[in-house]
Each structure stands twice: as structure tokens, then as C-alpha cells.
Amino acid sequence: MEQLADDRETVVPGQALADTESHRAGDGTFEADGQVQSLYLGTVEYRENNEVRVTPTGGRYIPEKGDSVIGEISRVSHSNWTVELNSPYDAIMPIGEAVEEYVDLTEDDIADWFDIGDLVVAKIQKVTKGKDVQLTMQDRRARKLTGGRVIEIDPPKVPRLIGRKGTMVETIKEHTDTTIIIGQNGRVWIKGDYEGLAADACRKVDREAHTEGLTDTIDEWLAEQRGDY
């Protein structure tokens, strides 16, 4: 079967893009009824290796179990924290999921561990049908973030910023001597020698996510820009 859409065409969720005999599903697509179909409203791309991708045009982050996110503490309660996720839905982080040592709630102030305005990398432990979200810090990636800076990109563009096997984000880190943590909710934490340049590169990926050869473009752009920082 031929391609069912033109390369770089705008497609809608559920639209058939190709058959699974000749093509395979990549980012932003899924397989159903023998077809590769779009997950998003976005731009379709047919790759030389017969992979089909769809880059979303944008959208708010909807929490999903297992996601690693960067959240901001917005409220401290008696035994848990409310965490803002750059989403229509906030999350609750119970003390038992955030602190390993024993905490005496009759004497200890849990704000000593995490206070309003603190940034944390946490994992979404569960999401109910009513979109009640619970976080856990019991994950190797979880931590409290100090220093650095945080920027936001469109959450659907996160896979593009990470790149295939992490190639995009590694390119940015190598050129800028930075540590970069990317949350599935579109928040990006950057810390290191050239934070401003790294932030600009991440925003450039966000703007140009639909273009071909973007990793090479970013690599060349960073090499040119490095002398200006």
C-alpha cells in the first residue's frame, strides 16, 4: 500500500497513514487494524527506514502512570505535598513516597524536606479515572533540584528533544557542558557552564520539531553559537 498521506501533511488522531506490511509505527503513531495510525493532531513524516512519525502541534500535559516529571511544590500539608505539574491536574506526594527515614508528624515539619517553590523530579505512581494523581520519589531518577534553570516546551515535543536513543539531548549537553533533565510534562532543568545556550537550543528544537535532520541542524548551530557565549 502507498503512503496514505503526503509527507509533512497535517493529520488528525486515528487517521490511517500506511499499512503495517510496508511501514512501522514510530513516535506519535500506533498500529491498529493492519495500519499505522496517528496518535495526535500533527505533522506526519515518512522516514527512509519505513518508519512513520507524527509530531504533535501542541497540547497540555495529561499525567500518565510511569511518567517522570518535574514538579513544583505548591502546598505543604500535614502529611503530604501538592505538586504542580504544568498540567490541568495537580498531584499529591505522600510523605511515605517521598522520605525514607521515619518522620514524627507530631513534632516534625515536613517543609524541612520539601517546601513551597521547591522543584522535584518524581515518578507518577498512579492516576485514577477521576485524574487524581499520586507521585513517588522511589525511583532512581527522583531527586530535589537545586540551582540551574527551568524552561518549558510543548509536552508533545519531549520525544523530539530527547531524540532517538537520546541523540538530541546528548548533542546539546556535549556542546554546552550541562546536565539536562527532561520531564514528560514539558519542563526541562538545565545546570552547567552554558545554561543559556542549552536553553536556546531546547527552545529551537521545540520550534522546529517538525523539520528533517534536526539533530544535525542543532549540532551545527551549537558549534556556531558557542563562540558567542
- Domain 149-228, second-level architecture: 2-Layer Sandwich (3.30)
Average pLDDT score over residue span 111-139 = 95
Strand partners, 51: 24
Dump pLDDT digits (tens) for 74-115.
Answer: 999 989 999 999 999 999 999 999 988 887 777 778 889 999
Distance CA 82, CA 76 (A): 7
pTM for this structure?
Answer: 0.76
- Domain 68-145, second-level architecture: Beta Barrel (2.40)
Structure-block grid coordinates of residue 69: 516529571
Residue holding cell 527532561?
182
The H-or-E segment that residue 216 falls in is helix 214-225
Average pLDDT score over residue span 112-137 = 95
CATH number for the 10-56 domain, one of 3.90.650.10, 2.40.50.100, 3.30.200.20, 1.10.10.1800? 2.40.50.100
Distance CA 185, CA 88 (A): 11
Return mean pLDDT, the chain.
91
